[in-house]
Chains A and B, each alone.
Chain A
């Protein structure tokens, strides 16, 4: 039986999440990661991603929109639902 689950506890700023804005408007908190990445086998880089609640990032203005967090702005390159789709991963690109 399906049930409504409160996911906000997983996106608490007291834990690992940070506040974010989407296109200048306050949006749901996200958990930000920026892992090391080797591009084309020779270029050193990083892969910034934001994990958020799908309900907070379900608009048509998400992809190609501007996600700002912790003083840095990124362009959302893609929106990737995870598992049952309740949470998603935003792939980010530096602006």
Chain B
């Protein structure tokens, strides 16, 4: 049995965002809090999924079609002084461009688009750390009884 489509979406987003100019191969999916990022792992992207809202699209009991709206979260993390704001903007540009190149993520999604970005800075440290949190809405469809198979 395949993984849940949202797992497949996360994997596809990570693939699309790997080898970007600023963050390179430093792309981490569902990085646990107990494995903090080291300086050598920055700048990087953290990819995870958050809230999902489902709606019934067709009748039909357990085989009914569900429309799912998933929040795909991508955090760009960088450290340093100077104009890190520009670095975060560059990370956002690269991620937005990469994901817009195929808004279906290889046929998994009906649509994908950015909905929100917010920045945070933690200056209390030897090297200030910065984050841009990007939220993308991903619409995908499945049968209720087959959440591992995306519908066209």
Judging by beta carbons under 8 Å apart, are B37 and A43 in contact? yes
Question: Chain B 120-152, CB within 8 Å of chain A: the 1/0 string?
Answer: 101111111101000000000000000000000
B39 cross-chain contacts in A, Cβ below 8 A? 44-45
B38 within 8 A of A: yes
Judging by beta carbons under 8 Å apart, are A40 and B122 in contact? yes
Judging by beta carbons under 8 Å apart, are A34 and B126 in contact? yes
B16 cross-chain contacts in A, Cβ below 8 A? none
> What is the CB-to-nearest-CB distance from B49 to chain A, in angstroms, rounded to a whole number?
17
> What is the CB-to-nearest-CB distance from B10 to chain A, in angstroms, rounded to a whole number?
17
Q: Of residues 80 to 135 in B, which have CB atoms within 8 Å of A's CB atoms?
A: 81, 120, 122-129, 131
Q: Of residues 8 to 42 in A, which have CB atoms within 8 Å of B's CB atoms?
A: 34, 37-42
Task: Report Cα–Cα, A77/B33, bound state, in Å.
Answer: 28
Interface on chain A toward B: helix, strand, loop, or mixed SS?
Answer: strand
Chain B residues bordering chain A, tally (CB within 8 A): 21
> What is the CB-to-nearest-CB distance from B7 to chain A, in angstroms, rounded to a whole number?
21
Judging by beta carbons under 8 Å apart, are A93 and B127 in contact? yes
B42 within 8 A of A: yes
Nearest A residue to B42, CB-CB = A43
Judging by beta carbons under 8 Å apart, are A39 and B46 in contact? no
A94 within 8 A of B: yes
> What is the CB-to-nearest-CB distance from B44 to chain A, in angstroms, rounded to a whole number?
10
Judging by beta carbons under 8 Å apart, are B77 and A47 in contact? no
Q: Of residues 78 to 95 in A, which have CB atoms within 8 Å of B's CB atoms?
A: 91-94
Q: Which of B36, B125, B126 contacts A42 (CB 8 A)?
A: B36
B79 within 8 A of A: yes
5 contacts between A and B (CB under 8 A): A37-B126, A43-B36, A43-B42, A43-B79, A44-B39
